[in-house]
Structure 1
Amino acid sequence: MIKEKNLHAVGIIAEYNPFHNGHAYHIRKAKELSNAEYAVVVMSGDFVQRGAPAIYDKYTRTAMALSCGADLVLEIPSVFASGSAEDFASSSVALLNGLGAVDTVCFGSESGDMEKLSAIATILANEPAVYSDELRKELKKGATFPEARNTALVTSGAVGKEDASILASPNNILGIEYLKAIYRQNASLTPLTIARNGSGYHDPLLMPDRFCSATGLRKALRESGEHYNETENTVFDYVPDPVKLKIQESKPLYCDDFSLLLNAALLRLSMEGIPFNNFSDVSDELAARITKQLPDYHSFEEKINQLKTRQYTYTRVSRALLHILLGTTCQLTEDARRAGYAPYARILGFKKESVSLMGEIKKRGSIPLIAKTAGAETNLTGAAAAMLRHDFYSSHIYQTVLQAKYGIKIKNEFTQSVVIL
């Protein structure tokens, strides 16, 4: 009898906002280090973890990824795609683990030191008394949560003082959250990390002969306006060839494109007496600040800057406002956590050669694989069905703004097919 060949797939958690040369490098190295035939990407949909719209819609970004090494792209549920780092990571890991056919997850980090990242993740996942006590003590002193956490990690012995800065780097933070989720979920995923090369995560500059940051690329695209297809370098030097055409063809969206919808949502909720703290990431204090400033019209970004404080960072406020706009309630978020963070896997696109991979997922996965939107909701129940409806709603909001801004007709979630290359 012929023994069936084991299929190896590596999981990648991404936003590709937008896709650039560093992402293509990551996919290549992830396959190489894991000895995997396939790269399965779980990706944010139309809104991303920093609490903002993705610069390009999820189908455009899926096509970018598939043309540059990804074999299958799945959507991270929208409830968590724009959630905290912990929720984002928990959902992503649960999604990859639920497929049954992914045995490794590979992420980038500024540190590149799995031993140190793992030591920190172990403390944060188990929260021993020495850590928890010190964390509470520092918070009572008025320290911000990141400051208190760093002090508690040093006190608990997870890191030395010289390594406390590990948690100041965004990719390290996400990497630690991925490890935490793997440990807490007892996921059958072997973690690998690749040291991040090139510009920092938030670096707004495009530097020659270096991988750029997505932040820098978005800044360059925004400053170029509608004429970026005519520039001789700036943008196109930092993206793979297949992505260049997609950038030329696609229409970008930014936070301020959603200003009218945000202000309308805030006014409607106030009129109907629905508290702002009903929504995920909106504390009582932040809700009071929003209410106080409600009568004044501000753009999305102006409102974020108006509300942010030392305790409430720009990203935290942006995320809270986005949750209000998209109707991401605390109840929906809690129900989604109880449902296992990722009770289904929705396909955004795949390569024709990866059909055998999807066959393995259908055979070995513990969650349903959704390829068609028609009737998908009726095959789910409870929180899972509510999460899928939220996915549809979030993307329809994005598509509405895209159509209004550019005066174009685009497909919606029920007429758009998955991307196949």
Structure 2
Amino acid sequence: MKTVGIIVEYNPLHNGHVHHFNASLQAAGAEACVAVMSGHFLQRGEPAVVNKWARTEMALRMGADVVIELPVAYACQPAEWFAYGAVKLLDATGVVDALCFGSEEGTLAPLDRLAGLLCREDGAFRSLLQEELKQGASYPAAYAAAVRRFSGSGGGANGEPPPPLEQPNTILGLHYLLALKRLQSPIAPLTVVRREAGFHQADITAPSIASATALRKLLFRTGWQAPGADALGAIAPYVPPYTLEIMQREHGEGRGPLCWEHFAGPLFGQLLSRPEEELRQLHEVTEGLENRIKAALGRMPADASSPVEALLDLLKTKRYTRTKLQRTLLRILLGHTQQSLGRESLLAGPACIRVLGFSPRGRTLLKRMRQTAKLPVITRAAAAEDPAWLGMDIRAGAVYSLGYRRLDPGEWQRDYREPPLRLD
């Protein structure tokens, strides 16, 4: 059974994702699909609008056969580590033949040539990157500039233009290819062009396709405190019926939709109670950012209706992008230390393959994975032999539940009692 792997967030799953899913199966000539999906917190340092189990159900109802959780250690990282963790999981299954990702250009060759060049870098590229960062550029801009300097042309060849390195999908695609090469994975890379809406396009310009960013903007257009039935109805033209049904159910149960503002209480509790020296030990708190955070707390407006947004506005500079700051605040919220997420720890990769859900065909894939997988395949959290990475996910799940409308102690341990979702 030929199987394609995809790497997703589904925040929420929309019609563009369905297009990518179907195009991936077609491009790979695959009968089955394994999806690696971020859990409760996402790559840009944001909470998911609904929890990982709801989004797993969306993926399975779309047609995915196995959904695997990307640990929070990797899910909330810059492109390099996000891609590395996800690709390592797909490679570890032993059943995935191809990886298909969306890109702005829909062309693999220029990215693959650039990945081949960067894969062999011996420290010279890192030096160029540090030079660009020292000039005050944000990390994404510094990375793109360093790649152009290192490659001489940005990866273009035979008269082709270089890949658009400022585009999020292009950078992610480049890092997927780098991870495949560094892991010496037999998985074949494929790419399909994104349809209609750009990756973070906030405006809707097509009748049935909108980015997840635009949909979240619709959900919270009347304020974050109580997005209700009208807001959910507004996204209906852009999502499959099952996405809307699941979102409505989660809303009715008080479990979403969520945004950063729902975590203002726990976040500010951490920021106010930890002294600078403790903040300095946390991942993403770099270059004296702990001092900037403490100073910003003293300048917070008294009447801020969206306190997290107000804090981000006070912290943002040309150097510190919103995404960087959101990741910083998230690591503070979750208590992730520099030591626990150091380079050596991340290079080791995820410790297990955590299955969130599967279809009938996915059950067959899981049986194969039991024989082929390079890592333990976990369907019960309590069965994990090395709970380090998994423990971070369980704690992240407990913190995520603090954003719900009702405090429910049962949600704090949901990872222990929730079996994989089985779609019959």
8 A Cα contact 2:110 2:163, kept in partner = no
How many residues were matched structurally? 405
Q: Distance in 2 between matches of 1:125 and 1:143?
A: 23
**1:395/1:134 Cα in 2 relative to 1: closer, same or farther (>3 Å)?**
closer
Q: Structure 1 vs Structure 2: percent identity of aligned residues? A: 35
SS at match of 1:73: strand
* Selected match of 1:275 from 273, 278, 281: 278
Q: Which moved more, 1:148-157 or 1:241-250?
A: 148-157
Q: Deviations over 1:117-160 (max 9, x none)?
A: 11222233322677556545544544444444434433423435
The residue that corresponds to 1:8 in the other structure is: 2
SS at match of 1:223: coil
Q: Deviations over 1:79-101 (max 9, x none)?
A: 11111211111100111111111
The residue that corresponds to 1:356 in the other structure is: 364
Q: Which moved more, 1:77-86 or 1:159-168?
A: 159-168
The residue that corresponds to 2:353 in the other structure is: 345
Q: Distance in 2 between matches of 1:93 and 1:248?
A: 32
Q: Distance in 2 between matches of 1:64 and 1:151?
A: 38
Q: Deviations over 1:283-322 (max 9, x none)?
A: 0321221132344557222212211110110000010110
SS at match of 2:221: helix
What code does the residue aligned with 1:376 have? A
Q: Which moved more, 1:332-341 or 1:246-255?
A: 332-341
Counterpart check, 1:401 vs 2:398: no
Q: Distance in 2 between matches of 1:140 and 1:394?
A: 33
Query: 1:274 Cα shift?
Result: 4.3
Q: How does 1:103-118 map to 2 (within 5 A)?
A: 103-118=97-112
What code does the residue aligned with 1:313 have? T
Q: How does 1:4-403 map to 2 (within 5 A)?
A: 7-127=1-121, 131=125, 134-155=128-149, 156-157=151-152, 158-160=154-156, 163=161, 166-223=164-221, 229-230=229-230, 234-250=234-250, 251-270=256-275, 274-295=277-298, 299-334=307-342, 337=345, 340-373=348-381, 375-377=382-384, 379-380=385-386, 385-402=387-404
What code does the residue aligned with 1:356 have? T
Query: 1:207 Cα shift?
Result: 2.6
SS at match of 1:253: coil
Q: Distance in 2 between matches of 1:18 and 1:123?
A: 35
Cα RMSD of the aligned pairs, angstroms, is 2.5
**1:409/1:337 Cα in 2 relative to 1: closer, same or farther (>3 Å)?**
closer
Q: Deviations over 1:39-93 (max 9, x none)?
A: 1000000000100100111000000110011111110011111112111111001
TM-score by length of 2: 0.88
- Contiguous gaps of at least 5 residues in structure 1: 1-6
Q: Distance in 1 between matches of 2:343 and 2:321?
A: 26
The residue that corresponds to 1:413 in the other structure is: 415
**1:335/1:150 Cα in 2 relative to 1: closer, same or farther (>3 Å)?**
closer
Q: Distance in 2 between matches of 1:99 and 1:268?
A: 42
8 A Cα contact 1:347 1:371, kept in partner = yes
8 A Cα contact 2:106 2:194, kept in partner = yes
Q: Deviations over 1:393-415 (max 9, x none)?
A: 0001111321xx24678642223
